């Protein structure tokens, strides 16, 4: 290999699709609502001796922490958005908060399982009617919080859709790909949904106990709720972990970049991809390092840039072209 023909980076934006003001405001509001409801449920769980209600209250405590963490992550990402120490922006602060929230969910599931098993082995009398009233209030609060966060999610998707529509490109298949989600908002939303679900389980358990005398149903529903929380937490860990570990090489845009280079009608026969790395730097933005080896002395990074411009997901592309003087017949 004789030498390097050219290197060029293009379409660089430091913020890379970070921040969600509507979600940040919603997360703060939901945090305060959750804290207030948490206090009511914990006190009621102790007074009425309901494990399902007490578990739901402590579950809400961790949710308040996690949702507050989501709001803090938005604020930190916004505060450091122009800090040049963050080479690809501050969006991963939000993803890290989502990952931490998922770990909190797993801790909640473990605590709920432990306490529920303990109450199965040592059952205690429960004041079912009073506990059901408080659980019903908790459910109503959770549904209201889900509505608030859901509104922020739809607001983000609507604004994001307009952002994509502003690009003056022809329609391409890659536009149908998943453009990314606000994983920080998703983590807050999952916390609220799990809280709503545990409230439902608590009401079912308390109703069964009140009508049929099935006191065992209260801790049993605590275990069911713990299993459901674990499933949701693992899913959130998987989604956020992929981003934090830069596990994106199976994304469809990777195959599209390869196809664009390898099937180019003019210089594909004399050019091959030597190196390709892609990782996510925003909700719907990726950074790419592309290394090419070519016999075509006329090929330059600007050619590759023009070829890949239709892929609006690519926020930052670095292109390196290495010139090989051997003729195109050699492999």
Sorted by where each starts, the structural domains of the chain and their CATH numbers stand as 3-12+250-323 (3.30.300), 21-244 (1.20.1510.10)
Has residue 12 got a pLDDT over 70?
A: no
DSSP-based helix, strand, coil % in the chain, nearest 5: 65, 10, 25
pLDDT digits (tens, 9 = 90+) for 271-326: 889 999 999 888 788 989 999 998 888 888 888 888 888 888 888 888 999 988 76
Edge to edge, the sheet with strand 3-10 lists 3-10, 314-323, 285-294, 271-282
**Residue 78 vs residues 21, 65, 74, 238: alpha-carbon distances, Å:** 9, 20, 6, 25
E strands along the chain, which residues? 3-10, 271-282, 285-294, 314-323
Buried b (16+ CB within 10 A) or exposed e, 119-158: bbeeeeebebebbbebbeebbebbeebbebbeebbeebee
Contacts of 317 (CB under 8 A, 6+ apart): 9, 10, 11, 287, 288, 290, 304, 305, 308
Rounded distance, CA 31 to CA 26, Å?
Answer: 8
pLDDT, one tens digit per residue, over 128-171 is 877 788 778 888 888 898 888 876 655 545 444 444 444 444 34
Please report which confidence band the pLDDT of residue 11 belongs to, taking 50, 70 and 90 as the band edges.
Answer: very low
Question: Is pLDDT of 55 > 70?
Answer: no
Spatial distance between the Cα atoms of 193 and 127, rounded to a whole number of angstroms: 26
List, in sequence order, the alpha helices (H) in 20-90.
21-48, 51-79
Using DSSP, how many helices (H) and how many strands (E) does the chain show? 8, 4
The per-residue pLDDT for 180 is 54
In sequence order, the β-bridge partners of residue 293 are 272, 322
> Radius of gyration over alpha carbons of the chain, in Å?
26
Residue 95 has pLDDT above 80, yes or no: yes
Q: What is the pLDDT of residues 181-212, one digit of tens each?
A: 778 888 888 878 887 888 888 888 888 888 88
What residues contact 220, with CB distance under 8 A and at least 6 apart? 116, 120, 205
What mean pLDDT do residues 66-72 have? Answer: 87
pLDDT in tens, 217-265: 888 888 888 888 898 889 999 999 999 999 989 899 999 999 988 888 8
Place of tokens 């998987």: 238
Q: Quickly list H helices, 213-300.
A: 217-244, 252-262
Sorted by sequence, the CB contacts under 8 Å of residue 115 that are 6+ apart come out as: 51, 54, 55, 219, 222
């Amino acid at each position: 290999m004789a030498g390097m023909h050219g290197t060029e980076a293009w379409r660089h934006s430091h913020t890379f699709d970070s921040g969600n003001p509507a979600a940040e405001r919603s997360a703060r509001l939901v945090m305060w609502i959750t804290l207030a409801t948490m206090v009511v449920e914990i006190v009621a769980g102790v007074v009425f001796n309901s494990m399902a209600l007490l578990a739901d209250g402590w579950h809400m405590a961790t949710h308040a922490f996690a949702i507050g963490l989501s709001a803090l992550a938005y604020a930190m990402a916004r505060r450091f958005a122009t800090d040049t120490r963050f080479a690809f922006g501050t969006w991963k602060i939000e993803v890290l908060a989502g990952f931490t929230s998922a770990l909190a969910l797993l801790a909640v599931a473990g605590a709920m399982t432990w306490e529920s098993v303990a109450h199965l082995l040592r059952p205690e009398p429960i004041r079912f009617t009073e506990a059901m009233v408080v659980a019903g209030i908790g459910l109503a609060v959770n549904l209201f919080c889900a509505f608030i966060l859901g509104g922020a999610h739809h607001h983000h998707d609507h604004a994001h859709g307009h952002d994509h529509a502003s690009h003056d490109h022809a329609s391409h298949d890659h536009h149908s790909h998943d453009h990314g989600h606000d994983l920080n908002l998703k983590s807050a939303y999952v916390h609220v949904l799990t809280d709503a679900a545990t409230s439902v389980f608590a009401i079912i358990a308390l109703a069964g106990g009140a009508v049929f005398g099935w006191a065992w149903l209260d801790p049993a529903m605590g275990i069911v709720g713990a299993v459901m929380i674990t499933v949701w937490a693992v899913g959130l860990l998987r989604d956020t972990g992929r981003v934090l570990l830069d596990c994106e090489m199976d994304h469809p845009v990777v195959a599209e970049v390869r196809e664009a280079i390898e099937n180019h009608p003019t210089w594909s026969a004399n050019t091959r991809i030597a190196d390709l790395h892609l990782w996510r730097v925003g909700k719907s933005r990726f950074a790419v390092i592309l290394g090419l080896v070519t016999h075509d002395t006329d090929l330059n990074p600007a050619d590759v840039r023009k070829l890949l411009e239709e892929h609006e997901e690519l926020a930052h592309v670095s292109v390196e072209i290495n010139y090989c003087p051997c003729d195109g017949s050699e492999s």
